Amino acid sequence: MNRLITRKIVDNVYRLKAPQKSLSTDAGVKLPSSNSGQEHGERVGFSNKIQEHDIAIVGGGMVGLAFACSLASMPLTKHLNVAIVDSNPALLSGVCIKKEDPPDPRVSTVTPATISFFKDIGAWKYVEQHRHAYFDKMQVWDYTGLGYTRYSARDANKDVLGCVVENKVLLSSLLSCIQSTDIQKTIYPSRLMTLHRNSSSMGAGSTSSGSLSYELGHTVKLDLTDGGSLCAKLVVGADGSKSRVRELAGFTTSGWNYSQNAVICTVEHSVENQCAWQRFLPAGPIALLPIGDNFSNIVWTMNPKEATDRKVMPEGEFLQDVNYAIDYGFGPHPKSSTSGNGDIFSWLKPGVTLSANECFEVPPKVIKLASERMVFPLSLRHANDYASRYVVLIGDAAHTVHPLAGQGVNMGFGDAFALSKVIAEGIAVGTDIGEVSLLKKFEAERKPENIAMMAILDGIQKAYSVDFGPLNILRAAAFHGANYISPLKRCIISYASGEQRLPIFS
Amino acid sequence: MASKLLIQLRALSAAANGHRVLARRVFSDSPSLSPPEVSSTPPPPPPPRPPPQISQSESGVKSSAPSSLDQNELFKFSSIAETWWDSEGPFKPLHAINPIRLSFIRSTLCRHFGRDPNSARPFQGLKFVDVGCGGGILSEPLARMGATVTGVDAVEKNIKIARLHADLDPLTSTIEYCCTTAEAYAMLLWTEKMVEEHKSFDAVISLEVIEHVANPAEFCKSLAALTVPDGATVISTVNRSMRAYAATIIIAEYLLRWLPIGTHQWSSFITPEELVLILRRASVSVKEMAGFVYDPLTGKWSLSDDINVNYIAYGTKTAL
């Protein structure tokens, strides 16, 4: 058998012809700079011969690395030979995190389901070494002053509702985690240029046979922008919302852009914030998420013109706007339910959950801007298929959502877990891991869940993009319903925690 | 999942006593004998066709024995051989049930050989033969699970397809494919054994084949002859029940057109009781059985204790 493989590799090299050879020195130079992880059997891809891998993960971001960690953590998949294609130098040099730096504005709200996934793959212990902020309370209200909802982890018998973690902490934790495992991994510090699905060298022996024209080989060849190439039995596109894999493999998407941008930044309070706050304003929601110490993260959705203005306006003016937006701006505070005289929703009172008796609170004042302000356009995009022969999409490559409830990356981690599980099940019964029938199982498991979550987030976005009297009251009624009807509230918390499907979808 | 759904079926003393007593089926959750609970399904009618001729020859190999494979059946399969690996083609149902039959094989054989079920290649170092391998859709997964696989089929075209396909992946290119009937192969091995000894298999697997052979009893004897003492035998087939008739012939062949019309002959189907008896007489005692059921709502196949239509049996060869 070995002889056979050798022959095939020789074939590969022969076929590559000259151009690769001139570039091979390039990759050779990069090698010494990769200090960390070398001792763990990690290699940097050479471009002078084609390496054969089981799985090529294109995109070494949070979702791609989580998928690799998940493969490394399961007995049936830990033997796989994995390649990670990403030009981010941090994958080789490690992510530099200084404790004294203020938190980065790019954060994720990870759900309890994601936390348990991270614990399973062995990455959460690294997250805990850095700044992270659990929160067990959440208050959602709107500018009309008609309603508010307070969620508490206690309502659903949980310890926490979620945890806010900087993306760089998640990335570095996953990197530490993958380096601590003994899965065979190769990092290609480059970008994907082309995919060849049918002209694989493996099929060379059979291309002469016309009867097998639908089945030319078991591998995909990936050409990289640095001139290198690799082969894999399965290509996992974890390369984000502008996925190159999605484009090259011909996956179609549907979706739309919102005429909204999100302004994100880190701010400082005079006291520690321990609650997640979200207020719906006429132009979009503003969220204030605790990120540890006296810092909070702001995700503020508004129209593009306002976003550009607020990005460049002086700090003092911006802070004033923020405090206005999270406090009394655009409308009064909702009345606390405990003082509820004349409350038009008082008939909803019986059977309230614990937190329903809690008063409306005003979020802590923002006193300082602790990072630059960043602006991102918002869009919704969903791949019509996640899987085809030898290629599968996970994370933002498959679905990009409104960052409303911080669900985007959690959906991606859900994909990473589901795909690694499906691959393990396939390996258990000796299936070729690139086989489309196997990958379609992953799609069948994740697509309905992701679409449901996207529809809810889009629905909330749309419901709040209209300022119209009767609709405002309906929304307020929905808030009250969500606040007072215990089973509904528990259900919403479980759903938002990523641990349960909405009953209508189960 | 497989192990949870799997209800072990044991053939009791009736089968051991042989003769004309129909094997009683007893369902038991534990491997030890628990109080018998007779299957809720009524025992199928006695076989309408003559009982299989059981040869007295212990070896199961007779130089004069004609191939047990039906010539019409051979022709039927060679005409569709090229579509073996098209998962949407004529063999779509086989592709659909392949994972669950493999999960049955994995769980029973890991237990049989004392292998770690969490290993990616639990059958490393074991020699398996896949009798009636077709295009290799069972042989290849078995090879990926670590087994040293020999695939045997009576249709030459199948073997060619299987060879070409297996060569696409280094993990499966080690499979040895031979075009021969089980009987002829057994004899070949028999003569080889005379020369160099120990040329038999740790596990003999023959799925969805026995219903296509002319003489199932001879066929089972051949399978047993290929198996090492204490080796494993796995056979799957279709029950001769009214439900099986409806499911495999009326629905799968005529209505859904999953299978070419004429793929199955109802009269050649074998009931689980008959299979247990036939195997018993070939020195193979059946240890477990499971059924394959299709859920038309989810479109998924799963293992169950319902052996009324498709079923799979695992047995061990007792020392002669």
Q: Decide if B253 touches A, using CB distance below 8 A.
A: no
Give me the mean pLDDT over the A466-486 stretch: 61
What is the predicted pLDDT for the residue at B189? 56
Q: How confident is the model at residue B199 (pLDDT cuts 50, 70, 90)?
A: low
Per the model's pLDDT, the better-predicted residue between A315 and A197 turns out to be A315
pLDDT at B184: 53
**Percentage of residues of chain A with pLDDT beyond 90:** 42
- Which of the pair, A238 or A326, is modelled with greater confidence? A238
Q: How far, rounded to the nearest angstrom, does the alpha carbon of residue B147 sit from its chain's CA centroid?
A: 17
Res B80 pLDDT > 50: yes
Share of chain A above pLDDT 70, in %: 71
Asked if B99 is an interface residue toward chain A (Cβ–Cβ < 8 A), one would say yes
Q: Does a structural domain hold residue B7?
A: no
Mean pLDDT in residue range B196-216: 80
Q: Residue B137: which domain range?
A: 66-317
- The pLDDT, as a whole number, for residue B171 is 85
What fold characterizes domain A107-163+258-377+464-505? Answer: D-Amino Acid Oxidase; Chain A, domain 2 (3.30.9)
Does any domain span residue B198?
A: yes
The shortest C-alpha distance from B55 to chain A (Å) reads: 36
Model pLDDT, residue B40: 39
Give whichever of A352-366, B59-73, B276-290 has the largest mean pLDDT.
Answer: B276-290
State the pLDDT at residue B19.
35
Point out the least confidently predicted range of A306-320, B28-42, B95-109.
Answer: B28-42
3-state SS class at A30: helix
**Res. B47: pLDDT tops 80:** no
Q: How far apart are CA A193 and CA A172, in angstroms?
A: 26
> How would residue B226 be classed by pLDDT, with cut points 50, 70 and 90?
confident
Q: Of the given ranges (A82-91, A298-307, B89-98), which has the lowest mean pLDDT?
A: B89-98
Closest-CA residue of chain B to A75: B118
Among A32-36, A140-144, B308-312, the range scoring the smallest mean pLDDT is: A32-36
Task: Give B98→chain A minimum CA distance, Å.
Answer: 9
Mean pLDDT of B252-281: 79
Q: Is B7 or B300 the better-scoring residue by pLDDT?
A: B300
Task: Say if B4 falls within a structural domain.
Answer: no
Q: What is the pLDDT of residue B245?
A: 73
Between chains, do A430 and B85 touch, taking CB under 8 Å as contact?
no
The pTM score is 0.77
pLDDT at A213: 31
CA B2-B8-B10 angle, 5° bins:
155
Show residues of chain A in contact with B141, CB under 8 Å: 429-431
| Domain range summary for chain A, segments of one domain joined by + | 2-93+172-254+380-452, 107-163+258-377+464-505
- Assign a CATH topology to domain A2-93+172-254+380-452: FAD/NAD(P)-binding domain (3.50.50)
What total number of domains does chain B contain?
A: 1
Higher-pLDDT residue of B76 and B218 is B218
Binding residues of B for Mg(2+): 208, 211-212
Do the Cβ atoms of A8 and B144 come within 8 Å? no
Inter-chain CB pairs, A–B, below 8 Å: 71
- Contact yes or no for A205 and B168 at CB 8 A: yes
Q: Does some domain include residue B23?
A: no
**Predicted confidence band at B63 (pLDDT cuts at 50, 70, 90)?**
very low
User: Within the 119-148 window of chain B, which residues sit less than 8 Å (CB to CB) from chain A?
Assistant: 119-121, 140-145
Helix (H) or strand (E) holding A24: helix A19-30
What does the pLDDT average to over A43-72? 84
Q: What's residue A85's pLDDT?
A: 96
pLDDT at A91 over 80: yes
Chain A, nearest residue to B142 by Cα = A430
Q: Is the ipTM of this complex over 0.90?
A: no
pLDDT of residue A96: 81
Position B16 in a domain = no
Select the residue of B87, B119, B168 nearest A206 (Cβ to Cβ).
B168
Q: Please give the average per-residue pLDDT across A105-134, as a whole number.
A: 93
Question: Is residue A184 over pLDDT 50?
Answer: yes
Residue B57 has pLDDT above 70, yes or no: no
Answer whether A90's CB lies under 8 Å from A171's CB. yes
pLDDT band with cut points at 50, 70 and 90 for residue B161 = confident
Tell me the C-alpha distance between A155 and A136, whole Å.
10
* Residue A37 pLDDT level (bands cut at 50, 70, 90): very low
Residues 6+ apart with CB under 8 A from A3: none
Residue of higher predicted confidence among B233 and A13: B233
> For all residues of chain A together, what is the average pLDDT?
78
Mean pLDDT for the stretch of residues A240-251: 93
| Most confident of the following: A315-329, B28-42, B177-191 | A315-329
Strand partners, B312: B236, B290
CATH number of the domain where residue B248 is located: 3.40.50.150
Q: Of A34-48, B154-168, B194-208, where does the model show the most confidence?
A: B154-168
Band of residue B139 on the pLDDT scale cut at 50, 70, 90: very high
Nearest to B290 by CA among B242, B237, B245: B237
Q: pLDDT band for position B267 (50/70/90)?
A: confident
Higher pLDDT pick, B238 / B66: B238
**What confidence tens digit (pLDDT) does each residue in B85-126 have?**
877 777 787 888 899 999 999 999 999 999 998 999 999 999
SS3 A277: strand
More confident residue, B19 or A259: A259
**Residue of chain A nearest B135, judged by CA positions:** A212
Q: Which of A54, A73, A429 to mutate to test the interface with B (most CBs of B within 10 A)?
A: A429
Nearest to A50 by CA among A11, A86, A1: A11
Provide residues of A within 8 Å CB-CB of chain B. 1, 4-5, 8, 75-77, 79, 202-203, 205-206, 209, 211-212, 214-215, 217-218, 233, 426-432, 435-437
